Amino acid sequence: MTLMKERKADHIEICASENVSPGYCYWDDVKLIHEALPELNADSIDMSVHILRKKLSFPFIVTAITGGFSGAKKINANIAEACAELGIGMGVGSQRAAMENIDRESYAVIRDYDVPLVIGNVGAPQLVKQKDKNAFTEEMMCDALDLISADVIAIHLNFLQEIAQPEGDTNACGCFDAIRNIAGKCPMIVKETGAGISKKTAKRLSGIGVAAIDIAGMGGTSFSAVEMYRAAAKKDHIRESIGRTFFDWGIPSPVSLMSVGKDIPVIASGGIRNGLHAANSIALGACCAGAANLVLKDAMVSADAVKKRLTIIREELRGAMMLTGSKNIKALASADRVVLGRTKEWMDQL
C-alpha cells in the first residue's frame, strides 16, 4: 500500500473506532427559546434552502470524508445514495489521490447518484510547493473536478493536521494567493477541518470572491487526535506528543460561526451530532449545517444506514422548527436563543 492509501485507511479506521473529539459539546451551549403555541402544522414546515445556486430539501451537507483507497468507493457510494435520496449536499474527501491517478473510481462513483450539490476537495498545502513535492497545476484540479462532476470546489485548510502528522506538508506560504487565483475562476468553498475559521480570516476570504466558508470548528473530529493515534501505532513518540498537546486546539464551532458574522455564507460543521445542533447553527447565522464523523460508521455499513441517520437529523431539525414556531429556514434563522457555558465565555472575550 502507498503511504497515501495507508493514511486514508488509517483515518477511517481511527475515526470509526477511537475517541477523536474533545469532551465538551459547544453546540449544547446554544438554547433555542421554546414556543408553547406555535400555530404550525409540522408536516407543512418548509425546510428547503438554496445554497450555491442549488436547492437542498433541508440545510445539510455530508462534508468531505474520503476517496483514494479501495474501501473508499463503498463509503462514498453509500453516502451519495443517501444524499441523493434525501436531497442534500455531499463532499468527497481530498482528491489528491485522484490527481495522482490513485483509485479514481472511489471518487467517480458519486456520479452514479443524483446528488443535488457535489463538492470537490483539494488541500491548500497542495496549492504550493512542499519540500520535494510540486504544487498541483490548474489542469490537474480541473480534471479532479470533472471526475466527479463537481458543482463547487472546497479548498481545505488543515495545518493543524499537517503539523501533527509525521509526513506533514507544513509550508503555508503562498496558499492565500493560490486560493485567490482559483476563486476568480470557479465557485469555491474554503473549509477548515476541525479547528475553525476566525473573523479575520473569513474577512480575507470574503474579499477575494470565495463563495462560502465551512467553519469546521473545534468540538468534533480533531485531526490532531487522529494523528496522535497514528503516531502512537508507529511508535513516533514526538508526533504522538504533539498530537496530544493540540488535541483540542482551535476555535469552537459556534464561536467561529458567531464571530464570522454575515459577510459570507457559512456552512456550520465541527461536532454537529444531531438535528438540534443543526437547528442551533441556523439560529446562529449558518446557511447550512454539515457533518462528517456522524455518518462515517453508517457509511461503512450501507446506504440504508446513512439514510436512517440523515432522516433522524431531518426530523429533529423539523422538531426544533416546530418548537420555535419557525415555518421555514428564514424564520429559524431569526429564532430567539441564548448562549451559555464555555461558548459564552469565549464570545465575551472576542
Residues that bind ligand FMN (CB under 6 A): 11-12, 15, 63-66, 93-94, 121, 154, 156, 191, 193-194, 216, 220-221, 269-272, 291-294, 296
Q: For ligand FMN, which is the closer residue by CB, 168 or 194?
A: 194
* CB 204, min distance to ligand FMN, A: 19
Q: For ligand FMN, which is the closer residue by CB, 189 or 323?
A: 189
Please write down the HEC assignment for all residues of the chain.
CCHHHHHHHHHHHHHHHCCCCCCCCHHHHEEECCCCCCCCCHHHCECCEEECCEEECCCEEECCCCCCCCCHHHHHHHHHHHHHHHCCEEECCCCHHHHCCCCCHHHHHHHHCCCCEEEEEEEHHHHCCECCECCCCHHHHHHHHHHHCCCEEEEEECHHHHHHCCCCCCCCCCHHHHHHHHHCCCCEEEEECCCCCCHHHHHHHHCCCCCEEECCCECCCCHHHHHHHHHHHCCCHHHHHHHHHCCCCCCEHHHHHHHHCCCCCEEECCCCCCHHHHHHHHHCCCCEEEECHHHHHHHCCCHHHHHHHHHHHHHHHHHHHHHCCCCEHHHHHCCCEEECHHHHHHHHHC
* CB 39, min distance to ligand FMN, A: 34
* CB 315, min distance to ligand FMN, A: 19
Residue closest to ligand FMN when measured from CB atoms: 220
Q: For ligand FMN, which is the closer residue by CB, 22 or 325?
A: 22
Q: For ligand FMN, which is the closer residue by CB, 63 or 281?
A: 63
* CB 214, min distance to ligand FMN, A: 7
Q: For ligand FMN, which is the closer residue by CB, 117 or 154?
A: 154
* CB 11, min distance to ligand FMN, A: 4
Q: For ligand FMN, which is the closer residue by CB, 271 or 325?
A: 271
Q: For ligand FMN, which is the closer residue by CB, 246 or 323?
A: 246
* CB 294, min distance to ligand FMN, A: 5
What is the separation of C-alpha 188 from the centre of its chain, rounded to a whole number of angstroms?
14
* CB 275, min distance to ligand FMN, A: 14
